[in-house]
């Protein structure tokens, strides 16, 4: 039995035994993806292969804390109902297996289909090794069990001009050539190193596709470069960027010069709990994005329940007619709808409480802003009976910002904000799921995602305004798997 199979079998046996303990998950979301046990962070290897969606992810099965990185794996036919699969990758080789007490493992990466075969790419990482990060691949015959070829590592060291931080390969094909971007740094500025290959095994360095100008962070993690309509986009998670945690640059890619030129950039999500976004193109031609719905250096109340980490709902990324990025929840989430309450043209003078309540909900609400003097308009979700606990989603008419106030949301604090364009109607599309609130604003112009940890009894909804405003449409669904 080879080393990798031993490591995989050990992890899977542990997971099976741990699941039997049936530790209660008070904050377990209903429809957001979480690992069966342990710690979860970055989504990896997102792909639709032979009709099946695959979600791989950074996974430490042995603890609710970050540790030696494995790749967890789940599959789905519809992006909503996920089936846990055996662990896909475990640290087992000399380029990824470190010593106790140091960081090591199979770090983030991506997946492609090559001649009907699913191929994974990832970073082998060992803190104490030089180089500490190398790029590797793994193959499979059945889409479930993966082998590491003897050719690994396929990129054994970073190019001389780049830093030792050299990770998170994203691979794609363009005009019959394979390309890879790797997150790195050059002279203290974050960058995306680009490589090309004819066979996925022999890779040539082509330079930096893009680099920070000094304002976009000193190291770029989890790069993702892809065509989107008539443009290209580059998504990165910049380290030490003032006010930025996961940005999308829109511009043009010159494949002859291997250079990406940025027109503009946006924050992918304005909330506190969003990182390491990765996209893929599905068989319907949609560019779909999933991210880790948490953030480093934050509290994880769920660790007391033996688990940590969740994924966002899948989102379709597109450009509108003006070339502006829009993010929309995938339509498959409608499969979760179990009941509907709807109100039209509600004259909201102070507050309005719908009949529907719960902790797993979808809401769509449109506020008519054309004839109101109200300074604050919005709603509370996950509200307690005594009114002391709630998550507030508010539009400040004077500043033009949507604010998500977490200071009474339970075990968290802070106010996340998103500045939006002037509009006569404010549209909010909200997903609530026990320990998270995702707010899509004005058809995906901005999104705000946050983790919250309310009591089980905090399940009410309340709309509010400080002066009369017309709620042109309110729709609420209970969501269940």
Catalytic residues: 42
Q: How far apart are the C-alpha atoms of 463 and 75, rounded to whole Å? A: 38
Q: How far apart are the C-alpha atoms of 415 and 160, rounded to whole Å? A: 43
For residue 297, count CB atoms less than 10 angstroms from its CB and return exposed for 0-12, middle for 13-18, buried for 19 or more: exposed
Q: How far apart are the C-alpha atoms of 174 and 24, rounded to whole Å? A: 47
Q: Are 233 and 182 in contact (CB under 8 A)?
A: no
The structure tokens listed for 123 are 């970073």
Strands (E), 304-356: 307-308, 315-319, 325-329, 337-348, 351-352
Q: Of 355, 363, 407, 402, give the one whose Cα is nearest residue 381.
A: 363
For residue 285, count CB atoms less than 10 angstroms from its CB and return exposed for 0-12, middle for 13-18, buried for 19 or more: exposed
| DSSP 8-class letter at 25 | -
- DSSP letters of 100-141? TTS-EEEEEEEEEEETTEEEEEEEEEETTSSSSEEEEEEEES
Q: How far apart are the C-alpha atoms of 442 and 429, rounded to whole Å? A: 8
Q: Of 294, 297, 314, give the one whose Cα is nearest residue 58.
A: 294
Query: Which helix or strand (DSSP H or E) is residue 431 part of?
Result: strand 425-433
Q: How far apart are the C-alpha atoms of 75 and 304, rounded to whole Å? A: 27
Task: HSE, CB side, 13 Å, CA atoms: give it for residue 388.
Answer: 4
Beta sheet of 259-267, edge-to-edge order: 219-228, 231-239, 247-254, 259-267
For residue 30, count CB atoms less than 10 angstroms from its CB and return exposed for 0-12, middle for 13-18, buried for 19 or more: middle
| DSSP 8-class letter at 15 | H
Q: How far apart are the C-alpha atoms of 176 and 327, rounded to whole Å? A: 29
**Phi, then psi, of 97 in degrees rounded to 5:** -105, 105
Q: How far apart are the C-alpha atoms of 158 and 47, rounded to whole Å? A: 26
């Amino acid at each position: 039995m080879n080393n990798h199979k031993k490591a995989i079998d050990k992890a899977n046996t542990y997971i099976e035994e741990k699941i039997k303990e049936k530790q209660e998950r008070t904050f377990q979301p209903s429809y957001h993806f979480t690992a069966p046990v342990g710690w979860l962070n970055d989504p990896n290897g997102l792909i639709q292969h032979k009709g099946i969606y695959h979600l791989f992810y950074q996974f430490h099965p042995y603890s609710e804390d970050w540790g030696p990185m494995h790749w967890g794996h789940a599959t789905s036919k519809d992006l909503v109902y996920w089936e846990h699969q055996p662990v896909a990758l475990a640290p087992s080789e000399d380029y990824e297996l470190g010593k106790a007490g140091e960081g090591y493992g199979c770090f983030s990466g991506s997946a492609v289909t090559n001649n009907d075969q699913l191929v994974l790419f990832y970073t082998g990482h060992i803190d104490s090794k030089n180089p500490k990060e190398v790029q590797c691949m793994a193959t499979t015959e059945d889409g479930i069990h993966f082998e590491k070829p003897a050719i690994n590592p396929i990129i054994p060291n970073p190019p001389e001009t780049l830093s030792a931080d050299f990770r998170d390969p994203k691979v794609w094909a363009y005009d019959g050539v394979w390309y890879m971007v790797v997150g790195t740094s050059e002279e203290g500025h974050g960058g995306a190193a680009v490589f090309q290959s004819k066979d996925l095994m022999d890779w040539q360095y082509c330079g930096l596709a893009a680099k920070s100008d000094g304002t976009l962070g000193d190291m770029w993690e989890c790069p993702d470069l892809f065509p989107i309509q008539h443009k290209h986009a580059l998504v990165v998670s910049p380290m030490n960027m003032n006010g930025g945690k996961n940005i999308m640059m829109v511009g043009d890619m010159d494949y002859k010069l291997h250079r990406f030129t940025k027109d503009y950039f946006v924050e992918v999500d304005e909330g506190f709990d969003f990182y390491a976004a990765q996209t893929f193109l599905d068989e319907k031609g949609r560019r779909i994005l999933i991210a880790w719905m948490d953030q480093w250096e934050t509290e994880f109340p769920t660790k007391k329940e033996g688990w940590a980490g969740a994924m966002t709902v899948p989102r379709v990324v597109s450009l509108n007619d003006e070339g502006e990025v829009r993010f929309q929840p995938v339509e498959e989430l409608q499969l979760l709808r179990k009941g509907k309450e709807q109100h039209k043209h509600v004259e909201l003078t102070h507050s309005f409480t719908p009949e529907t309540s719960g902790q797993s909900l979808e809401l769509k609400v449109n506020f008519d802003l054309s004839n109101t003097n109200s300074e604050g308009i919005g709603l509370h979700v996950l509200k307690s009976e005594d009114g002391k606990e709630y998550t507030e989603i508010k539009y400040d008419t004077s500043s033009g910002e949507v604010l998500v106030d977490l200071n009474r949301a339970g075990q968290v604090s802070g106010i996340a904000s998103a500045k939006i364009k002037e509009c006569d109607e404010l549209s909010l599309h909200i997903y609530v799921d026990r320990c998270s609130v995702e707010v899509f604003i004005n058809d995906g112009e901005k999104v705000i995602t946050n983790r919250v940890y309310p009591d089980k009894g905090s399940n009410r909804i309340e709309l509010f305004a400080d002066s009369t405003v017309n709620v042109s449409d309110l729709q609420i669904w209970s969501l269940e798997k």
